[in-house]
Amino acid sequence: MKPFRETITNEELAELPIARFEGQITVVDSEEQIPGACAYLLGQPRIGFDTETRPSFKPGAPMNRVALLQLSGPDRAFLFRLNCIPFHPALLELLTSPDVLKIGAAVPGDLHALQQVHAFVPGGFVDLQSVVRTFGIDELSVRKMSAIVLGARVSKAQRLSNWEAVTLTPAQQMYAATDAWICLEIHSRLMSADPAAATVIMQPAPPEKKQEPRPRRRPRRRAGASTKPGKPQPGTGENNG
């Protein structure tokens, strides 16, 4: 018998209790806070990982840069406001370290967004969407993975809120912290079922190189063509006698 069911309906999902992070939430919006936050996270064997970006509702508009990076241990969650703080060396050390597993969902997209802010080669990332397939789970959204694995659902009410607001509301903070923490909880449950199957580490992908614009080629002049409008060329017979 499989330890987890393959799918869950929206009706069944609605009947489940809502999961909320009950630990300490720290909003990191100044450079001085970054080393201490990263020191705690670097001391954890596994942490939950997620990002948030201010949505754009204009058709065809380019996607905004990632505004928030959420990293959570079992009892402390840190919300790094990347639209307010620099990409600190301590943060780079954490994101590139193979010794701290960063657990998320749809990780390649999040990493691509982060690499648009600062180039780095990620290390130690685990994508739950790849892991759950080895357990026979077909659902890939965080809400349904949480429902199947933990028997609890997460609220997505704040997903399309303004993540570049001057101050994040308590509801935004709870949503962001829970989204990272729940990935860690899902992974912990999968680890207890099958540690080997649950630890599928992504291969590090180098940041994409920005393509330099090609220099514009000057148009080639035809032989005998005038270099200046109206000026006769030698040997044409014009004004030569």
**Per-residue pLDDT tens for 41-77?**
999 999 999 999 998 767 777 778 999 999 999 999 9
Instruction: Kindly state the percentage of the chain with pLDDT values over 70.
Output: 83
Give me the pLDDT at residue 12, please: 96
* pLDDT 10s digits, 213-225: 555 556 566 655 5
Distance separating alpha carbons of residues 69 and 81, to the nearest angstrom: 7
What does pLDDT average to over the chain? 88
Residue 89: burial class (beta carbons within 10 Å; 0-12, 13-18, 19+): exposed
Instruction: Tally the domains of the chain.
Output: 1
Supply the CATH number for residue 92's domain.
3.30.420.10
Report if residue 190 sits inside a domain: yes
Q: CB-based burial of residue 114 (10 Å sphere; 0-12 exposed, 13-18 middle, 19+ buried)? A: buried
189 located within any domain:
yes
Question: Higher model confidence: residue 168 or residue 229?
Answer: 168
Whether 160 maps to a domain, the answer reads yes
Indicate whether 230 belongs to any domain: no
Q: What is the structure's pLDDT at 187? A: 97
- The answer to whether residues 54 and 164 touch, using CB atoms and an 8 Å cutoff, is yes
Kindly indicate the confidence band of residue 162, based on its pLDDT and cuts at 50, 70 and 90. very high
Contact at 8 Å (CB) between 199 and 135? no
| Residue 215 domain flag | no
Range of the domain at 119: 10-198
Residue 228 counted as domain residue? no
**Helices (DSSP H) in the chain: which residue ranges?**
10-14, 34-42, 89-96, 107-117, 128-131, 142-150, 170-193, 195-198
- The answer to whether residue 209 is domain-embedded is no
**C-alpha distances out from residue 91 to 12, 87, 158, Å:** 39, 7, 25
